[in-house]
């Protein structure tokens, strides 16, 4: 199963709404402008703090090597970059949202790490990097916010070196009935209520919960990666499928 090319659609999902594709990036930017300074709190709430363990596990299973080059997409807050840099990887952090990059740079500056990374304000669908520049590309909790996911995956393929690896971590639709009911109650009742009190925007948290439900399931995403030329595509669930990791290789 694969998802139809989003670049050919007349409308695109923004949570449960259908919007003009030209509008989605701006709508997503408004969400993250609102939550940028509380992004870690947001992830703590959405995952009950487990996202920190997921991210550590994600980086460990990427098998980074000393001196390799990594492009971390939607990486504004720097969580993945910081963990990857401990493996001796050179990291370029790219994010379409300037507020997220600003928040990440502020955090890194507080830790004396801001100069350790290259920071790029870039759209994943139209990357400013040349062909075959990176050994690894990562995108964590960001692909569901991209307007045209097929175009972004095509760009990830382009900038990877032959034999390079793509690693995606994303929230997933939960298909266990009992857990799904609890997860829905948490996502649609508790999170917007907390979001209103933390950021003044229940709508931002409502969108984030909805965007997870509209994101392709694990096998569909794997098919999208194969459609763009990736090989050795694998995926595995974390925490009963609340989150999943996809890995893929560019032929080399």
What digits encode the pLDDT tens for the residues 91-118? 999 999 998 899 888 888 877 787 889 9
Across the chain, what does the average pLDDT equal?
88
Q: Given this model, what pLDDT does residue 35 score?
A: 73
Mean pLDDT of 139-146: 95
Residue 2 pLDDT > 60: no
Q: Given this model, what pLDDT does residue 74 score?
A: 95
Q: Are 114 and 108 in contact (CB under 8 A)?
A: yes
196 vs 158, more confident? 158
Give the distance between the most distant pair of CA atoms in the chain.
50
**Pairwise CA distance, residues 81 & 73, whole Å:** 10
66 vs 199, more confident? 66
Instruction: State the residue range of the domain holding 147.
Output: 22-249
Q: Is residue 2 part of a domain?
A: no
Task: Report which DSSP code applies to 170.
Answer: E
For residue 48, the SS3 value is: coil
Residue 15 pLDDT > 60: yes
Instruction: Give 185's contacts (C-beta < 8 A, 6+ positions apart).
Output: none
Residue 247 pLDDT > 70: yes
201 vs 125, more confident? 125
Q: Is residue 131 part of a domain?
A: yes
Q: Given this model, what pLDDT does residue 196 score?
A: 82
Task: Report which DSSP code applies to 122.
Answer: -
Q: Is residue 13 part of a domain?
A: no
Q: Given this model, what pLDDT does residue 143 score?
A: 96
Q: Is residue 244 part of a domain?
A: yes
**Pairwise CA distance, residues 133 & 131, whole Å:** 6
The CATH number of the domain holding residue 168 is 3.40.50.150
Strands (E), 43-89: 69-73
- The total number of structural domains in the chain stands at 1
Q: Is residue 6 part of a domain?
A: no
Q: Is residue 167 part of a domain?
A: yes
With cut-offs at 50, 70 and 90, classify the pLDDT of residue 85.
Answer: very high
**Pairwise CA distance, residues 238 & 25, whole Å:** 28
Q: Is residue 3 part of a domain?
A: no
Q: Given this model, what pLDDT does residue 231 score?
A: 98
Q: Is residue 7 part of a domain?
A: no
């Amino acid at each position: 199963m694969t998802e139809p090319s989003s670049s050919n659609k007349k409308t695109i999902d923004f949570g449960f709404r259908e919007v003009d594709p030209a509008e989605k990036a701006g709508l997503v930017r408004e969400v993250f402008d609102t939550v940028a300074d509380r992004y870690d709190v947001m992830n703590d709430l959405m995952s009950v703090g487990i996202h920190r363990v997921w991210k550590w596990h994600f980086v460990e299973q990427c098998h980074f090597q000393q001196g390799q080059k990594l492009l971390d997409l939607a990486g504004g807050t720097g969580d993945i970059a910081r963990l990857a840099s401990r493996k001796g990887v050179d990291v370029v952090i790219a994010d379409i949202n300037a507020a997220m990059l600003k928040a990440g740079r502020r955090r890194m500056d507080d830790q004396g790490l801001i100069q350790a990374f290259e920071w790029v304000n870039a759209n994943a669908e139209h990357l400013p990097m040349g062909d075959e520049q990176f050994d690894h590309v990562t995108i964590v909790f960001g692909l569901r916010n991209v307007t045209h996911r097929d175009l972004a995956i095509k760009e990830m393929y382009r900038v990877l070196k032959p034999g390079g690896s793509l690693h995606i971590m994303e929230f997933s639709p939960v298909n266990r009935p009992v857990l799904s009911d609890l997860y829905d109650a948490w996502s649609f009742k508790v999170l917007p209520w907390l979001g209103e009190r933390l950021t003044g925007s229940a709508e931002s948290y409502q969108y984030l919960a909805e965007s997870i439900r509209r994101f392709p399931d694990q096998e569909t995403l794997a098919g999208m990666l194969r459609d763009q030329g990736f090989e050795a595509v694998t995926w595995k669930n974390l925490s009963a499928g609340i989150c999943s990791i996809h890995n893929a290789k560019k032929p080399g």
